[in-house]
Amino acid sequence: MKVSTLVAVLLGVGLLLGSSFLVPHRSADSPPNIPAKENTRYYKENPANYAALPEPGDAEKQLPRLIRDLQSALEGGSSRSFLNLIDAERFPDYPRFEDLIERLLRENTIRMHTQSAFTAPPATPAASIAQLVIDVEMDLSRKGGDSLVRRSQQLTINFDYTKKGWKIVSLSPWALFAPI
């Protein structure tokens, strides 16, 4: 065996063994958590598969915009717009949540007010997760009815950065979205 072939094999084995400390990525749409110093090289090698991760400051601007989009979708009665903000593959029990939202928006009219209570943006450019905790006041009334139900609750939303941008990967409590 040639020395160059032996070096290539050893280098390949070393890369495989050395990469075991990395957290495996969650799906094909989300980039793996990689050390910040390797971030630039990784995305240069895989530009078609992943969007470059935003800087933490960018996330602080983009996530509140997503909350406004969520609010607009609920107030506008658009289950499709609301559900497009969610990563269906990673959202726990997505089919049941999808049914809940479609029923809520089919049967109810919503007015919603939000205020940020806590934000945990990505700590580094290589981090692809963030969390928002918002205080929500929601006024619900049945379509064609005159009774009004007011709900106030703190909502925790976890986001992950995918090639399609920030997506909701979990949201709790679901009880806030129960139809009246």
Sketch the domain layout of the chain as residue ranges: 56-177
Classify domain 56-177 by CATH number. Answer: 3.10.450.50
User: What are the two backbone dihedrals, phi and then psi, of residue 70, each rounded to the nearest 5 degrees?
Assistant: -60, -45
Q: What is the pLDDT of residue 161?
A: 87
- Give first-to-last CA distance, the chain, whole Å: 74
The candidate with the shortest Cα–Cα distance to 63, out of 135, 147, 160, 141, is 160
Contact 97, 82 (CB under 8 A): no
Contacts 24+ apart (CB under 8 A), 31-36: 31/128, 31/161, 33/126, 33/127, 33/128, 34/126, 35/126, 36/124, 36/125, 36/126
CA distance 30 to 6: 34
DSSP 179: -
Q: For position 46, what pLDDT does the model report?
A: 52
Q: How far apart are CA 142 and CA 132, in angstroms?
A: 29
Q: Which residues pair with 140 in a beta bridge?
A: 110, 149
Beta-bridge partner residues of 166: 161
- The pLDDT score that the predictor gives to residue 180 is 87
Q: What is the pLDDT along the chain (180 residues), one digit of tens a residue?
A: 554 554 444 444 444 444 333 333 333 443 444 444 444 444 455 555 445 666 656 777 888 999 999 999 999 999 999 999 999 999 999 999 999 999 999 999 999 999 988 888 766 666 678 899 999 999 999 988 878 999 999 999 999 988 888 999 999 999 999 998
How many CB atoms lie under 10 A from the CB of residue 60? 14
